[in-house]
Structure 1
Amino acid sequence: MRLGLLDIGSNSAQLQIVEAAVGAPPLPVHAIRVPTRLADEVQPDGSLSVAGADRAANAVATAVDAAYRYGVDRLFPFVTAAIRDAENRDVVLDRIVQASGIRPEYLSGDQEARLTYLAVHAWYGWSAGRLLVLDIGGGSMELALGRNTDPDIALSLPLGANRLTRRYLESDPPTSKELKRMRRDVRDTLGDASDRLKWEGDPHVTVGASKTFKQLARLTGSPAQRKGPFVARTLRRDDLHRVIEKLAGMPAQHRSRLPGVSESRARQVLAGAIVADCAMTALDLDSLEISPWALREGIVLRHLSSLADDRDALPLQTLPARSEDGATVTTLPKQI
């Protein structure tokens, strides 16, 4: 089965096409990225401008055309915080329907956290033990902690890199006053969430799962993405401090020349780095691993799991009840 995942975010509409089968990993076939640049179109009241809605709609229409061209069997289009949290969300979704014929779903922050965790857990396996996952997107940050395929704790915070850049970093490069104010508010927002996660005890494995963490790892010396998903990548807090100092001292135009930083993300990468640093500090993390799988893979895995659940279940039976003396009680076993 060929599945298409259409992620409509603040920077782009990204169509990832995978070959998917129950019991097999989702294997990427094609990837199409169409810029949206929605961060530039957020109005003071929190709505997206007409130009932003049109840009999102046209990007989705282009991606849908590609899905037809590449023989996608099923498409799951979804929007994240950039459109989900917009004051005129329904208007934007209606505009997308007009342009493309499809109406995207919008995932809640809790759903994003759980699906990303599912993907990371599948990648690292049961040997990971208690797993802590951090995901920094454009509009929000998700954190999830657990041991099983579904996390025990899933949190979403308004700490997306694009959101914070718009709110705090008006200058380019930003002033020290802007940076201090943003860092203070990020720490305050993380406070209760980090206390709750730390209450559960230290995780065995801590993972960053998002484009932001991949970029930061690349900036601190990890291998490029073209080296493939099986190359180990890590992000160390000491290295991150040096990167933040470097990014803060240069305008966005110069950041886009750094390894792993695209032009569309050059302005927001500094805010993402500061969120990562504050989160790692609050959670007492010296380093974290970088997962090649994240939200989109989690959606595929959830879909495949639902297909597997529809299969005929094995005729499992309960054991016959026994009396205190060990004798079997003669009742028929009940199927479950």
Structure 2
Amino acid sequence: MPEQTASVCAAIDIGSNTLRVVVARCSPADFEILAEDEALVRIGESVNSTGAISAEKRELTISVLKRFQSLAQEFKADTTLAIATEAIRKAKNRTDFLQAIQQETGIEVHCIGGDVEATLTFYGATYTVSKLPQPPTQIGVMDMGGGSTELVFAKNLHISWHTSLPIGSGWLHDRYLQADPPTVADQATARTFLRTYLGGLNIKSFPPMLFVTGGSANSLLLLSKRAFSLDEDLDVLTYEDLLRCEGLLWALPAEEVAQRYQLDVQRARIITAGALILRAILETFHLKEIHVSSFGIREGLALAYCRDGERWLQRAQQRAESAQQSSQQVIAGSELLNDTTTYHDDFGMTGRRMFQERAEDMLSWREAVLRRKDIEAVHKMRVASRRLRATMDAYQSVCDPKKFSAVYRQVKEIADVLGVARDTDVMIENLHQQAGQGSLAEQQGCEWLVQQLTNYRQEHQEKVEQVLRSLDERSFMRKVMACLPEEEIINGKG
């Protein structure tokens, strides 16, 4: 493709939450969007649940891609490019899924790695910034997807460091926030995970200006404008804006949020997790606001093709590798510190310390729950078990898979059995508070329900005691600590 020739390109992104297409006329000097379309398919939902892309998600994806093809043909696109990201990378039936798409549509989908994803996102998100007379010296770009979050730091618009984090709005929602609206306990557990994970990244300093792209970020900006009468031209979300968004999202069911503020109902469910992630980023790295970019990986893909033609993927991989080699570190201000080995060492050692603290906290309530003298002991042990699970989630990437899986199942069993006990205790307590109110028939009905729940709670106590009495504390602690390598091994001494 001649370097200065304007070409019409259709760029498709098959993400964990959403499928999107942009049709653009682009040259090295200009970028004009002709048409856009998207569909919320939530491929990541089935991958998170079963490890594979379901037949239903596959057929829906193919249907949407055929619609995108029609749009590309309508605008006489010279080429159609397609990439797939985190959910497809993780799916055990990825190859079959991509082959089915090619057979049904003729579209070749490139399943790209996180480093290439970060590079293409940076191209798109910084396109308008690069046109400024004086672009900011240091910026960060964050693409918050459904299954992963790409984070890129740049100096003078050249990538100095990037990483792909295996967390996204869809993943966080499916893992912790399935109630509608999310419960206070679910919110607390998700926040524990985010604080633990982001704190463990060992990023010494953050660029002063952060551009965020992705469906959840743009939906939160749209929600803020419609709910709080913000300027339509505004592209900034402040910490206070995110708090106000959370207030709505925690108080109202997703369907009501969607109806009030003209959002897709599935998107309204997911952005609760998006708000948590963005707020955690601001708190962890001491930022006051983010700039929301409507450009992202699709525009970056089109620009990469415009720049490099058929070699776009090869060149994007080369640039990603070059950026990785030139950083090999976690950024600290304008200086690069801590090589990758040290980063993982610090991360692992911090994980061992937190595993021990969280596990000991959970076990400290065991005897009180078994004695059943303090009704709050069940609640406190349940909270501690959920915090341990959230911490384990944060450090799963550096754990021994088999050892981690066994302990995680045990912690989940403890959390689940305590959850049933706690929920029943709360229902009984609420009914006791209502005793004596209403008609005689209502009071009698209330008393009957209290008795049924009390009987159930006593039966369930046997299950609680069975699980907790079989819990050998020393053995459990050994198994928890064995999930992560010994400190001597982490430091290269073993």
- Give the Cα separation in 2 of the matches to 1:34 and 1:248: 25
Paired with 1:69 and 1:239, the residues of 2 have a C-alpha distance of 39
Contact 1:4-1:17 within 8 A present in 2 as well:
yes
1:144 alignment counterpart? 152
Mapped contact 1:2–1:18 kept (Cα < 8 A): yes
Equivalent residues in 2 for 1:99-138, closer than 5 Å = 99-125=104-130, 127-138=135-146
Name whichever structure is richer in helix by fraction: 2
**Corresponding residue of 1:76:** 81
Question: In 2 relative to 1, CA 14–178 (structure 1 residues): closer, same or farther, beyond 3 Å?
Answer: same
Please give the secondary structure, in 1, of the residue aligned with 2:255.
helix
- Correspondence 1:167 to 2:175: yes
Give TM-score scaled by structure 1 length.
0.82
Counterpart amino acid of residue 76 in structure 1: L
8 Å contact kept, 2:8–2:78 = yes
Deviation at 1:30, TM superposition (A): 1.4
State the partner residue of 2:99: 94
Shift of residue 205 of structure 1?
2.3
After the TM superposition, which residues 6-21 of structure 1 pair with which residues of structure 2 at under 5 Å, given as runs? 6-21=12-27
CA contact (8 A) 1:135 1:209 kept: yes
Mark the CA change 1:148 to 1:111 in structure 2 (over 3 Å): closer, same or farther: farther
Conserved 8 A contact 1:212-1:272:
yes
Determine the C-alpha separation between the residues in 2 that align with 1:276 and 1:222. Answer: 19
Superposition pairs of residues 220-231 of structure 1, within 5 angstroms: 220-221=224-225, 231=233
**Displacement after TM superposition at 1:172 (Å):** 1.5
Is the alpha carbon distance of 1:95 and 1:108 closer, same or farther for their aligned partners in structure 2, counting shifts above 3 Å?
same
Match of 1:217 in 2: 221
Q: Which has the larger radius of gyration?
A: 2
In the aligned structure 2, how far is the partner of 1:36 from the partner of 1:277?
Answer: 25
Unaligned runs of 5+ in 1: 311-336
Residue 259, structure 1, aligned to residue 261, structure 2: yes
TM-fit CA distance, 1:77: 0.8
SS in 2 for 1:218: helix
User: What is the CA distance between 1:72 and its match in structure 2?
Assistant: 0.9
Greater displacement, 114-123 / 237-246: 114-123
SS of match in other structure, 2:27: coil
1:123, distance to aligned residue in structure 2 (A):
1.6
CA–CA separation in structure 1 for the residues paired with 2:266 and 2:62: 18
- Kindly indicate whether the alpha-carbon contact (under 8 Å) linking 1:129 and 1:204 is maintained by their aligned counterparts in 2: no
Measure how far apart 1:269 and its partner are: 0.6
1:56 equivalent in alignment to 2:61: yes
The question of whether the paired residues in 2 share the 8 Å contact of 1:133 and 1:207 is answered with yes
* Separation (CA, whole Å) in 1 of partners of 2:18 and 2:273: 18
Match of 2:96, SS state, is: helix
Identical positions, percent: 25
Aligned amino acid, residue 172 of structure 1? D
Given candidates 13, 22, 32, the residue that maps to 2:28 is 22
Q: Per-residue deviation at 1:212?
A: 1.7
Matched residue count: 301
Cα deviation, residue 93, structure 1: 0.8
Deviations along 1:43-72, one digit per CA (max 9) or x if unpaired, are: 633111111112212222232233233311
Say if 1:34 and 1:63, in contact at 8 Å, map to a contact too. Answer: no
1:4 aligns with 2:10: yes
Give the partner amino acid of 2:145: G
**Residues 131 and 145 of structure 1 are in contact (CA less than 8 Å); yes or no, is this contact kept in structure 2?**
yes
Query: CA separation in 2, counterparts of 1:12 and 1:136?
Result: 12
Contact 1:58 1:99 (8 Å CA) reproduced: no
**Does residue 41 in structure 1 map to residue 50 in structure 2?**
no
The one-letter amino acid paired with 2:166 is P
Moved over 4 A (4+): none
Q: Is the 8 A contact 2:44 2:147 kept in 1?
A: no
| Contact 1:236 1:288 survives alignment (8 Å) | yes
Tell me, in whole angstroms, the C-alpha distance in 1 between the residues paired with 2:144 and 2:36: 21
How has the CA–CA distance of structure 1 residues 279 and 66 changed in structure 2, closer, same or farther, with 3 Å as cutoff? Answer: same
